[in-house]
């Protein structure tokens, strides 16, 4: 079988497809990706087939728009997201996706929920398509309490594609489980849990630092370790929270890995611009995050409790899922001070019920099947 993944130039949206695509490749299928080649290449299996639909100029424009989006508040955030980012990105990607379909001749398109060109081209080519839901937040339609706004979004989608193409009526791959996502869903919605297998992380890390000079696995006792990360897209918006986090952990008996640009830090904090996050997870005891779906689910897949300070987008919904599961503490991002962060972190580290709840979510993820279950469902759709 031949599968074509259509993705935006966003790491958190590419990662699940790298895992599922890797599983399909391991089964002997032909797999290709279409998007921004320079963003895709470091995240995909070696030798992955990549078709361009986004050039460097468009990718730079997307990053610039993301920076402007981070400075907005209220309904301006949603308006900018749809009118300045999602719909224009869809239009821009259509030619490249169409050319990839012609060249690769896939049996099926798997489109990230923010890559609207995927389902549009699939419909025109009479190809079956599945949705790769890189966040579970939209499944519960967060706009349901704002019917006029919801109608406005649906009108935009109708103008773009003749209808609402956010989710496939054949298959929606959700990288979470019902232990986190409440609600009733159709049979096309497959909760497969985080897709973590076959992932590639080409980032170095000083592993000896975790145990104070002793090599990992040496048996020497280590201090508890915490990851602090606000994801790859928040930039200057995270500066205040990061500085407060540094103050919060300065005299705690923990080691802290913080993903940030270099800055003065206490001796127990290691600051790096990027980390091999998935490889790091087994060595952690808790995670402090903005509530990005990937980071939250990767942490819970390792039974790690969380401190979640959502900023915008789907993050408040993801944070609410964590709290409802009992697996973490939520903070108000814009108002959280060092004392608040410290108190929340001490709670998830020292109060066993948080780790116990995270472990229950981890078990639900294992039962969901991950990339194997996702590949099974994709094969089933193509086989008819």
| Residue 92, CA atoms < 13 Å, CB-side half-sphere | 23
Q: What pLDDT, on a 0 to 100 scale, did the predictor assign at position 337?
A: 96
Cβ proximity of 242 and 228 under 8 Å: yes
Query: Which ranges of 71-202 does DSSP label H, i.e. alpha helix?
Result: 75-80, 87-104, 117-124, 147-161
- Counting every residue, how long is the chain? 384
* Average pLDDT along the chain, 384 residues, taken 10 residues at a time: 96 95 97 97 94 94 81 81 92 97 98 96 97 86 78 92 93 95 92 94 91 50 87 66 95 94 93 95 96 94 97 89 97 94 97 98 97 98 93
Contacts of 190 by beta carbon, 8 Å cutoff, 6+ apart: 171, 172, 173, 174, 373, 374, 377
| Per-residue pLDDT, 73 | 75
Domain spanning 207-366: which superfamily? Answer: Glycogen Phosphorylase B; (3.40.50.2000)
Q: How far apart are CA 165 and CA 117, in angstroms?
A: 10
The contacts of residue 221 (CB under 8 Å, 6+ apart) are: none
Q: pLDDT value at position 128? A: 97
Contact in structure between 337 and 244 (CB atoms under 8 Å): yes
pLDDT of residue 233: 52
Residues 6 or more apart in contact with residue 73 via CB below 8 angstroms: none
The candidate with the shortest Cα–Cα distance to 172, out of 159, 187, 151, is 187
Classified by CATH at the fold level, domain 2-193+369-383 comes out as: Rossmann fold (3.40.50)
Q: What's the pLDDT at 72?
A: 76
| pLDDT computed for residue 171 by the predictor | 98
Domain residue ranges in the chain? 2-193+369-383, 207-366
What's the pLDDT at 213?
A: 44
Q: Do domains 2-193+369-383 and 207-366 have the same CATH topology?
A: yes
Total Cβ atoms within 10 A of residue 243: 14
Cα gap 233→70, rounded to integer Å: 9
Q: Which residues contact 280 (CB under 8 A, 6 or more apart)?
A: 205, 227, 257
The whole-model pTM stands at 0.91
**CB of 86 closer than 8 Å to CB of 114:** yes
SS3 of residue 235 by DSSP: helix
The encoded tokens of residue 180 equal 């986190």
Pairing of strands 108-112, 129-133: parallel
Is 179 in contact with 357 (CB distance < 8 Å)?
Answer: no
Retrieve residue 275's tokens.
């980390």
E strands, 142-234, are 172-174, 189-191, 224-229
């Amino acid at each position: 079988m031949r599968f074509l993944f259509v993705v935006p130039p966003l790491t958190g949206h590419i990662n699940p497809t790298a895992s599922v695509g890797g599983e399909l490749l391991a089964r002997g299928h032909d797999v290709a990706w279409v998007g921004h080649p320079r963003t895709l290449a470091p995240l995909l299996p070696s030798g992955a087939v990549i078709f361009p639909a986004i050039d460097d100029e468009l990718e730079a424009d997307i990053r610039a728009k993301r920076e402007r989006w981070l400075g907005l508040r209220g309904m301006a955030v949603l308006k900018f997201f749809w009118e300045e980012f999602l719909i224009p990105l869809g239009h821009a990607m259509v030619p490249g996706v169409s050319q990839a379909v012609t060249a690769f001749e896939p049996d099926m398109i798997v489109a990230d929920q923010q890559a609207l060109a995927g389902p549009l081209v699939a419909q025109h080519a009479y190809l079956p398509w599945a949705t790769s839901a890189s966040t579970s937040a939209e499944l519960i339609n967060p706009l349901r309490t704002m019917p006029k706004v919801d109608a406005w979004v649906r009108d935009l989608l109708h103008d773009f594609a003749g209808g609402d193409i956010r989710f496939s009526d054949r298959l929606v791959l959700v990288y979470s489980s019902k232990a986190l996502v409440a609600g009733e869903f159709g049979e096309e919605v497959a909760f497969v849990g985080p897709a973590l297998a076959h992932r590639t992380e080409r980032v170095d890390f000083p592993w000896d630092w975790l145990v104070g000079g002793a090599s990992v696995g040496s048996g020497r006792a280590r201090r508890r370790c915490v990851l602090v990360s606000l994801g790859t897209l928040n930039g200057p918006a995270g500066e205040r929270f990061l500085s407060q986090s540094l103050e919060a952990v300065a005299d705690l008996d923990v080691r802290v890995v913080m993903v940030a640009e270099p800055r003065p830090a206490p001796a127990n904090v290691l600051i790096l611009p990027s980390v091999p996050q998935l490889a790091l997870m087994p060595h952690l005891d808790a995670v402090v995050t903005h509530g990005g779906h990937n980071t939250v689910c990767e942490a819970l897949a390792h039974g790690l409790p969380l401190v979640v300070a959502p900023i915008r987008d789907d993050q408040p919904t993801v944070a609410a899922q964590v709290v409802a599961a009992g697996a973490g503490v939520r903070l108000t991002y814009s108002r959280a001070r060092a004392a608040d962060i410290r108190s929340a972190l001490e709670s998830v580290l020292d109060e066993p019920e948080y780790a116990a709840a995270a472990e229950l979510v981890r078990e639900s993820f294992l039962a969901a099947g991950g990339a194997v279950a996702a590949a099974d469902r994709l094969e089933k759709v193509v086989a008819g």
